[in-house]
A and B are shown apart, each in its own frame.
Chain A
Amino acid sequence: MAEFDERAVLKKVFSYILLILLAIIILAPFFIGIWTSFLPTMDIAKGNFFSTKISLDNYVAAFTKTPILRYLVNTLVISTITMIAQLIFCSMSAYAFVFLKFRFRKTIFTLFLITMMLPFEAEIIPNFATVKQMGLLDNYAVMIIPFLTSAFGTFMLRQAFMQTPSELKEASDIEGLNHFQFYWNIVLPYNKIGMITLGAYSFLGSWNQYLWPMLTTFSNNSRVIQNGLKQLQSEETFNDWGMIQASAAIIVIPTIIVLFIGQHYFKSGMNEGAVK
């Protein structure tokens, strides 16, 4: 029989109680939100959260009475294109910073980093002036073109690429791979985790954009989901909270999916066995 260590058990019990409490505090608003999205607005307004009149009416209303589907499609297209573009361009520039030797490499990289220190809000007026001059307002392009690449993504992937063992590069040199083959066949698969992380990050970043699309889009043709949600709220004098809640729930679903897919890959040990 194993020794029954009372103190260790107590310690475990207490830490689990603490963790459960924290989990409840953090997750409660989320679950309340989901729960209320199934309740009739009247019950929500009355504060009757324990109503039993659960239905999918709010969801049906969200899809039929508002252009939320259009918003979703807009956002999905924009976010996907942004994500793919960022993955391609950031990984290519990161590759250049790690594997190509050229003059002023460090200086140029420092310039990249400096752009990260300016918050996006500070650049918003010149950016707006630029896209207005280019005639891109109220168009998908206005939400994609400024975000085709990101200094942060380049920085993040550069750090990841630097961890690629130099032997893999040397082995590829001996096999005669050119830079693009090495990038495509070795560096990208080796840094799959970094790529997925950046992909999730840029997709969610694009999905959650609010300020920029608010300034640059005015019609339902290009309006994205976050702004659409705001639209639902202010359009009516009496807010249909149930429906708004349902729309909010619909919006977070892709976020959760992305996180779940990502989580699957955020396991360590994927690259074990390359060296040593």
Chain B
Amino acid sequence: MATVLTNISKQYDSEKTVLSDVNAEIQTGEFFVIVGPSGCGKSTLLRMIAGLTSITDGEISINDKVVNDMAPKDRNLTMVFQSYALFPFLSVWDNVAFGLKARKNTSQADIETRVNDALKMVSLEDLKDRKPRELSGGQRQRVALARAVASDAKICLMDEPLSNLDAQLRIKMRQEIYALQRKLGLTLIYVTHDQVEAMTMADHIMVLHDSKVQQIGTPAEIYKSPANEFVASFFGVPPINILPAISTEEGIVNANDDFTLKINQQVSVENFQVGIRPNELLIEEADELTANASVKTIEFLGDEKIVYAKMAHNDVEIAAIVDSNSQFKPYDNIKVSAKNNVLIFNSDGVNITKNSEDMVNA
């Protein structure tokens, strides 16, 4: 009982490949997030699962049934669109009931209880007679959710459902969606470009980039042992600092000619890069002689500050998280060093850090 994608590809014409060789197994009842920058093909993949876009190559099966040529309605799933896709001429109640009425295999009384339950679940009972235009963005989003909830389909697809909402509402709806998914035991396949949404909600994340799957894993796996440089820099705010490095002697690495750090593995390749999370960087004030970087800008976030600095060599810029009480100013000379918890990427960007190798191959 799962949704299995096998060697899925999509080409619009012989030139343009949108997706190539996507493999994944989405377990029943899990919250599966497909994440990637815009244009990576994540919405296309979702549409292919829904049956709205044809599949060029490969196989999609839902619960051991190949659904490649099945009409969307027979796949027994629901979809929440980025733009909600509400029917403006129907009231909230009728919008939620619409799919149930269209399928015609539910009795009138059953429709009524389902719709009322769904509206209660998203706390919209009081607004059931309103038209979509009389609702706020968050309420419209809830109507779209209620539509998915009212359906008896066990698979729900969501295409960037929160991207039209403001930041605060997004956090609130994020929690509501998560709670609903858990409560109803839905298999939720959720597309987003927002790595925070992916991290906070997912059981498993699929990272798409350049029409290829970069990595599939739990949020912790993806953050701690990213398969490659792209995945590493896509997750985490501010993004991970990637610095060119050479190993000088056993266990010692020289990063960007600016500082050295200890690693506990052998690096066999000549050219490689180290990835250091902003909170793993240490910054201290220094005089001109010992400094290896100068501060460019500082962002105050309340409980911490982000210092953006330019390294002395190679025009490399770094970001570091420091205590909010620290007194750095732009143009200050600083000395940057790092704790030894770093990631190592070879010249192709593949993660070759020792303790994460098992994960990479997974």
Contacts and interface: CB of A to CB of B under 8 A. Distances in A.
A174 B87 contact: no
B86 A174 contact: no
A273 B140 contact: yes
B103 interface: yes
Of B50, B73, B103, B137, the most chain A CB neighbours within 10 A belong to B73
Contacts of B52: 170, 173-174
Contact of A181 (B84, B87, B89, B102): B102
A174 B89 contact: no
Given A274-B88, A275-B85, A177 B102 contact: yes
Contacts of A271: 88-89, 133
B134 A273 contact: yes
Nearest to B52: A170
Interface stretch (A3-11, A144-152, A185-193, A205-213): A185-193
A276 interface: yes
A26 interface: no
Number of chain B interface residues as a range: 20 to 34
A171 B140 CA distance: 15
A114 B320 CA distance: 66
Interface string A142-186: 000000000000000000000001011011111111000100011
A176 B83 CA distance: 20
B71 interface: yes
Contacts, number: 89
A170 B81 contact: yes
A176 B72 contact: yes
A190 B89 contact: yes
A273 B131 contact: yes
A272 B164 CA distance: 15
B88 A171 contact: no
A270 interface: yes
A269 interface: yes
B36 interface: no
B362 to A, nearest CB: 33
Contact of A192 (B72, B78, B89): B89
B35 interface: no
Of A167, A185, A271, the most chain B CB neighbours within 10 A belong to A167
B102 A176 contact: yes
A190 B88 CA distance: 7
A221 B162 CA distance: 64
A272 B133 contact: yes
B312 interface: no
A73 B165 CA distance: 56
Interface string B58-78: 000000000000011110011
A102 B238 CA distance: 50
Contact of B133 (A174, A181, A269): A269
A170 B88 contact: no
A178 to B, nearest CB: 9
A174 B80 CA distance: 10
A158 B89 CA distance: 20
B98 interface: yes
Nearest to A182: B102
Given A167-B85, A273-B86, A276-B164, A175 B140 contact: no
Contact of A273 (B50, B72, B133): B133
Contact of B79 (A174, A192, A273): A174
Contacts of A170: 47, 50, 52, 72, 79, 81, 85
B282 interface: no
Contacts of B138: none
30 contacts: A165-B83, A167-B81, A167-B83, A167-B85, A168-B85, A168-B87, A170-B79, A170-B85, A171-B79, A171-B81, A171-B85, A173-B52, A174-B50, A174-B72, A174-B78, A174-B79, A175-B73, A175-B98, A175-B102, A175-B103, A185-B102, A186-B87, A189-B89, A192-B89, A270-B88, A272-B88, A273-B132, A273-B133, A274-B87, A275-B86
9 tightest A-B contacts by CB? Answer: A176-B73, A273-B132, A273-B133, A275-B83, A167-B85, A272-B133, A175-B99, A274-B88, A189-B89
Interface of A: 165, 167-168, 170-177, 181, 185-186, 189-190, 192, 269-276
